[in-house]
A and B are shown apart, each in its own frame.
Chain A
C-alpha cells in the first residue's frame, strides 16, 4: 500500500512541477569548432538530475524553464553552460578541451578523473585501440602503457601471453595480473591439455576485443589495495562498450580479412646438402659419416614448407548501440575464423554481448552486462615434443618421405610424420564461456547510493585428442590395434556478489569528500572429467568408449571461496590538495587456517600545483601535479585449492599411478601441511609527477616505484625424514623498483594535418633479497625451476642465466673452446661445475611508441614496441645446431661452416673433433641478446568524406583500412637469424625467455572496412 501511495505522490509532484514551472521545449544542435555535429553530448539542466544526450546529428531536445542553466559536456571538449532565455532554440559550439584531465578513469569499485587521480593507473581508451584489429583482448595492451610488459609466448593461435605489471613479484606463485571485466574478476586457471611448453591457452581469449571500451591497468598500492589479496600482480579493469541514452541507434559493421604467415624460420639442410655433409663427415672419419653420397636418397620432403602455410582469416563484427530516455544498450556479435601460419592451427570464435543500462526511476538504476562466447581451437603441439609441427619439421631428416609411392602417409622414423599427424589426428579445445554481471543501484539521497551486483564467469572447456593408428601403433609393432583417445572436460564455475555503499558530496563548494564501503563474496568450483582409452579397431571410431583398453577415468572437483570487506575514503580541497586511503580485509579458503585472513591498506596524497593562484600566470604550464602513495596488496595465487593442508591421497604425485595395491584402495601422505601458508605480500612506494605544457599539447608523466614483496612462496627444502623433500612456505623476499615514463605529444595540429606521438618506457630492476632455506651455491642461495637454465639468486635477479661460457672455435686447432669456472680456456668443460652467471632474462627497459597522423580523410598510425637488455636461450640449437647429431636430426645450414684448416674462423669445429658433441650441452653458445624493436602494428585508413555520404540516407560513416601486424623486427643480436627474439615457452616466472622451437610471431596483412549506419 505504501508503494502505491508513494507512486501516487511522485505522479502528483511531477504533474505539479510541470504545471507550476512553466517549462518549455528547448532544442538545438551541438557542433564542434569545425561545425561538425557532435553525437552523444550530455545535456543537463544544472542542479537537477534531468538531462539528455544529442543524437547522431548532434540534435537534442529538452524541457527547461526560463532562467535555468543548461550544461553541455562531452569528452574531450570544454563544458559549456548557457542560460535559457526567450528563444526555444539553442545551438551550441563546443571547443575542444585542451586536456583530457576531466576524463573518467576507472578505479577499483568506482571512478575518478585524470586530474584528481592520485593512484598509479594506466588507462587505455577506445580512441587508442579502436583502430587496431586484434584477435585477442590482450594484444590491445601491447606497448600502450608504461609498467606493463607484454610477451606474446608464440605465434600459435590461442597461445597464452605473459603479462607482467611492474616486474616479477612472485617466484613460485602466479605472476599474471588479475583481470576484471565489468566487475567480474575472471577465473584464469588453466583447464586444457599441456601441448608442450608450459604456456597453456590464453585465459581471456574468450573476450571479443571489439567489445572493449577501455582498459585500466592498476599499478600502485593506492590502486590495488582495494583488491586486497589479489592485487599484488597488478589489476587490469576492462570496461565493455555501452550505449548512450536518448541517442539514435548506431549500427557498426566491421569486417576484415587477413593473410598470415610465419616469420623467422631457420634454414636447415636440404636432402642434397644433408647427404653431402654426411659424406664429408665420412671422409673426415667423423661420426654419422657415410661412404658415398648416394647412400642417402637425394630427394625427400621440404618439411618446413610442409608445416607452414599462408593462413587466411576473416573476422566480422556487428554491433548496435543507442538508447531511449530510460534505457541505453549495446548489442554486439562477432565471428572470427582464423588460420594460423602453421598447419593444423585454426581458431573459430563466435560471441555475442548485451550490455543494458536502465533507469527505472529516480532512485533505482539497473544494469546488465552479458557475453557468451564459443571458441573452437584446433590446436597444435609446441616446443620439446616430436608432435610439434615446427619442432618436428626442423629435426626430421630431410630425406624422410611423408608419403609412399601410392600417396599414402607413412610414419617410419623416430621423428613422427608431422604432416600425417596434422592431417589425421584430432587435437581440439572447445570452450563455451558466459561472463555476466547484473547490478542494481539504489540512490538514497543525493550523493549516496547502494549498489548490489551479481556476476558469473562460467566456462566449459572440452578438450579432445584422437591419435590415429599410424602415429600410435600398439607396442607389438602394429599386430594388434593401436591408437588412443582422450577427453578432458572442465567446468569452471565462478559466482561473485559485491555490495557497495558510495558517498560523494562537495561541502561549501571546496571540500570534496568521497567514500566507498563494500563487501564481496566469490566462489569458484572446478569440476573436471578426464577419460582416455587406447587400442581402436578403426581410426573412424572417434570416441573414447571405442578404445578396447581404458587408460584413464578421472573425475574430480574443487571449490574455493573468497570473502572480502573493503573501503576507501578520498578528500580534496578545491581539487588542489588530495588525500585518499583504502583498506581491504580478505579471507580466502586457500590460505592456511592460521593466516586465513589478511589486511591490506594504502594511503595516497597529491598536490595539483597548477591549481595554485601563483601558477595562474604561467600559461605554459597547464598541469603540474605531484603525488605519492604507499600501501600493501597480496598475491593469492599460491597454488591449487588446498595448498596448506596435510593430505593423504591415492594418486601418486607426478606419476600415472596410484597407492592402491592389488585392487584395494590405498592412500599415503601426498602433501605436507603448513597451517601458516598464506598470500605473498607486496608493499609499494609510488612517487610521481605529471606535467602538462601548452594546453596539454605535451604531457609528461614520470613515476618512480619501489615494490617490496615479502612472504614470498618458496619450496623450502626440508629433511626427507619428514617424508617430503620440500615444504611450501612463505619465506623469501624480493624487490622490484624502477621508473616509468610516459610522454604524449601533439606535435602538429593544423586544419588538414595532425601528428601525435605517445611514448612510454619502463626501467625495472628486480632483485631477490632473501631466499632462506634455499640451496647454496658460490653465487649465493638460489632456486630454479626443474629443467631451467636460469636461477633466482639471492642478491641478484630472479632470472639469471647460469651457463658454461662458450668461446668459439680455435682457428689453430679447430676445436671448440669453453671457459671453466675460473675463466681458463678448456676443451673439456664440466657442464655442471663450470657454470657461472652469464645473463638475465629480464630486460633493462621496455616500452612502446605510437605515432598517429591524419591528413584530411586519411589516417596512418603505427605502434612499435621494444625491449632492451634481456637474454634469450635457444634450446632447440642443442638439437639442430649440434653437428654430431646429424645422423638422428637434421641440422641448421650453419653446420656447413666448419673448420677446415688453420686460420679458419669457423662456426663449428673440424669434423670429428672430440668437442663436436659439446654442442649438445647447454652453454652460452645457445644464448642470445633478446633486445628488439618490433613494428607491431601499422594501420592506414581512409574515411569517406562527409560530402559523399550526405546524400546517402543509409550510411553515416565508412572507413576502409589496411593493417600490417608484426611487419618487421629489428633484433639486438646479429646472430639471431631464424629465431624470433620475443619468445618464451613457459609462463613460470622462473623460466622466461627460453625457447625450444617456439613458433615465431605471425606476420599478418589485413584489409578491412568499418561501416556505420
Chain B
C-alpha cells in the first residue's frame, strides 16, 4: 500500500509541477480584435492600416468633418445660429467659455490623429519587414506627414491669432513629434504652446517632405504631391508669401489631376473638382449627428439650427448675373443651397453641400481654391504666375452664372470667396488674415469681433490646462 501511495504522490508531484510550469505561458494572452503597438509595427498591412486609419480618424466630426465648418461659420458673418445648444449659442454670441465642449474637440481629435501619425513617422524607419522596401516606407511616412501637417494647420486656425496679429510671434499649439507608446510617460507630453511661426515652420517642413516624397496621383481621397502643394499654398497665402503661394497653386492647377467643375454637382461626390476629398461612406460607419451635418440641414432631416446669414444671402443675391443665366440668380443659391425650415419653423437658406447623415464625400481642398489663391497672390504680390487674377475670378463667377468683372480688387476676391465657400470653413480665416472684423457693422457682436479681439479665436480647453502644468498661464487672453 505504501508503494502505491508513493507512486501516486510522485505522479501527483509531476502533474502539479508540469501544471505550474505551463501556467506562466497561459497568462500571456493577446487580444484578437485589436493589435498591440508591437504587432502593428511588425506587419506591413497593419502599418498601412494605421496610415489609412489617419483618414478614418479625420472622419470624426470634430476633426475634418463637419464641426470644423461650424466653428468657422458660426463665429463669422456667414452663418446664423438659432438652436438651443448653449455650447453652440455661446460661440455665436461670443460668450464662449474655456470649458466649452465644442471648442475642445478639435484639440482632442487633432492630437489623436497627430499621435497616430507620430507612431508611423517615428516607428516605420526602424521596422524590418520582408518586402517592405525603403522606398515604400518613405511613401508611408510622407503620407503620414501630410496628415500631421493638416491637423496642426487646422488647430492653428482654431486656437491662435493669425500671422498678421504679431508676425507669428503669438502663441499657437504645442508641437508633439513623438508617439505616446508603451515606453512613454504621459508627463513627457506636458508641453507648452509653441508660437505660430514655429508651428508654421513645422507644418511647412512636413508638407515639403510630403511634396518631395509623394507622387502625383489621381486618387483625391488620399494625400498626393498635389494635395500637399495645395495645403502649403493655402498656408503661404495665410502668411502673405505671395510668390510661393502663387507658384504652388499654379502647379496644382497645371498638374492635370483635377478639373475645374462645370457646375456644382460635385458636392457629396468624389469628383475631380476636389484636390482632397474626405470619402465618407456609410459602410465605414457614421460619425455624423452632432456636426454641421445635423445642425446645418433644415428640419426634419437635420436640426435646422445653423443657416446662411442675411449678409451671406444678400451677397449671393446681389451679384450681377451673366446674360445667359436662365435661373435668374446666382447658381450657388440653386445648386449648393436649399431653402428649408429652421428649428423654429421659419424658412431660411441652408447649405446643400453635406447631408444630415454625413455619409457623403466632403471636399476639403477644391481646385477652385487654387484659382482663388493664384489670383489673390498674383494681385497682392504684383505677380503674374499662370493666369491673371481677373481671368481666374471670372472663371469662378462664370460657373455661378455671374457676369464677368473687368478688373479685380481684393474686396472682389474676398466677396467671391464668401459666396463660393459658404459654410466650407474659409470665411473666418479670410477675415482674420485681412485684419477685418468677423462680423458686419450693426451686428450685436460687432464690437467683440474686431481684428485681434480676444474672442475672435477660441480658448485652449480648460481641462487641457488643468492636466498639463506646462500650459498653465498660456490661456488665450479673455478666457
Contacts and interface: CB of A to CB of B under 8 A. Distances in A.
Interface of A: 2-3, 6, 9, 442, 444, 450, 475, 499, 519, 521, 523, 556-561, 563, 565, 587-589, 596, 641-642, 645-652, 655-673, 675, 716-725, 727, 773, 775-776
A3 B4 CA distance: 8
A558 B33 CA distance: 8
A666 B180 contact: no
Interface stretch (B202-210, B279-287, B306-314, B336-344): B279-287
A5 to B, nearest CB: 9
A658 B16 contact: no
A719 B26 contact: no
A589 B466 contact: no
B50 A776 contact: no
B467 A648 contact: no
B189 A659 contact: no
B181 A668 contact: no
Contact of B180 (A649, A652, A659, A672): A672
A661 B53 contact: yes
A669 B33 contact: no
A669 B56 CA distance: 12
B32 interface: yes
Contact of B221 (A475, A587, A662): A662
A55 B174 CA distance: 83
Nearest to B356: A475
A664 B32 contact: no
Given A663-B281, A673-B182, A646 B54 contact: no
14 contacts: A444-B5, A563-B23, A563-B27, A565-B20, A587-B27, A589-B28, A650-B53, A657-B286, A659-B57, A661-B52, A663-B281, A666-B52, A666-B53, A719-B189
A127 B406 CA distance: 102
Given A668-B57, A670-B34, A775-B466, A656 B23 contact: no
Interface in B18-56: 19-20, 23-24, 26-29, 31-37, 40, 46, 49-50, 52-56
A656 B288 CA distance: 10
B316 to A, nearest CB: 30
Contacts of B167: none
A76 B6 CA distance: 41
Contacts of B371: none
Interface of B: 1, 3-5, 8-9, 12, 16, 19-20, 23-24, 26-29, 31-37, 40, 46, 49-50, 52-57, 59-60, 107-108, 111-116, 119, 174, 176, 179-182, 184, 186, 189-191, 221, 279, 281, 283-287, 301, 461, 463-464, 466-468, 471
B389 to A, nearest CB: 36
B186 A727 contact: yes
B280 to A, nearest CB: 9
Contact of B33 (A9, A557, A587): A557
B35 A667 contact: yes
A2 B285 contact: no
Contacts of A673: 36-37, 181-182
B23 A719 contact: no
A659 B287 CA distance: 10
A645 B36 contact: yes
A558 B23 CA distance: 18
A484 to B, nearest CB: 15
A641 B32 CA distance: 11
Contacts of B50: 648, 666-668
B184 to A, nearest CB: 8
B147 to A, nearest CB: 11
Contacts of B180: 669, 672, 722-724
B16 A589 contact: no
Nearest to B33: A556
B284 A669 contact: no
A116 B79 CA distance: 79
Contacts of A669: 37, 112, 115-116, 119, 180
The listed residue with most B CB atoms (<10 A of its CB), out of A475, A519, A718, is: A718
A840 to B, nearest CB: 26
Nearest to B110: A720
A647 B52 contact: no
Nearest to B47: A667
Given A656-B286, A657-B286, A775-B466, A641 B56 contact: no
Given A666-B52, A666-B53, A721 B281 contact: no
A661 B1 CA distance: 72
Contacts of B176: 721
The listed residue with most B CB atoms (<10 A of its CB), out of A521, A596, A661, is: A661
A892 B16 CA distance: 67
Contacts of B36: 645-648, 673
A13 B285 CA distance: 78
B16 A665 contact: no
B461 to A, nearest CB: 8
B154 to A, nearest CB: 15
B40 A775 contact: no
A164 B28 CA distance: 32
A596 B16 contact: no
A442 B19 CA distance: 19
A655 B290 CA distance: 12
Contacts of B174: 721
Given A661-B221, A719-B191, 10 more contacts: A589-B27, A646-B36, A648-B37, A649-B35, A660-B285, A663-B281, A669-B37, A669-B119, A671-B34, A723-B115
Contact of A561 (B3, B27, B60, B301): B27
A718 B467 contact: yes
A333 B280 CA distance: 56
Contacts of B115: 669, 722-724
Given A675-B182, A720-B464, A723-B116, A667 B46 contact: yes
Contacts of B190: 719, 721
A559 B29 contact: yes
A189 to B, nearest CB: 15
B53 A558 contact: no
Contacts of B189: 718-719, 721-722
Contacts of A559: 29, 32
Contacts of B221: 661-662
A662 B468 contact: no
A923 B50 CA distance: 46
A3 B7 CA distance: 12
Contacts of B114: 723
Return the 6 tightest CB-CB contacts between A and B, nearest first: A657-B285, A723-B115, A659-B56, A649-B34, A666-B53, A666-B52
Nearest to A657: B285
A143 to B, nearest CB: 41
Nearest to A551: B282
Contacts of A450: 12
A668 B116 contact: yes
Given A589-B28, A668-B57, A718-B189, A723 B112 contact: yes
Contacts of B182: 646, 673, 675
A485 to B, nearest CB: 18
Contacts of A648: 34-37, 40, 46, 49-50, 53
A647 B53 contact: no
B49 A499 contact: no
B32 A558 contact: yes
Contacts of B57: 659, 666, 668
A2 B287 contact: no
Contacts of B19: 499, 519, 521
A2 B46 contact: no
B27 A664 contact: no
Contacts of A667: 34-35, 40, 46, 49-50, 52-53
Given A499-B16, A655-B285, A722-B115, A776 B466 contact: yes
Contacts of A658: 56, 284-285
A646 B284 contact: no
A952 B56 CA distance: 79
A784 B163 CA distance: 41
Nearest to A773: B467
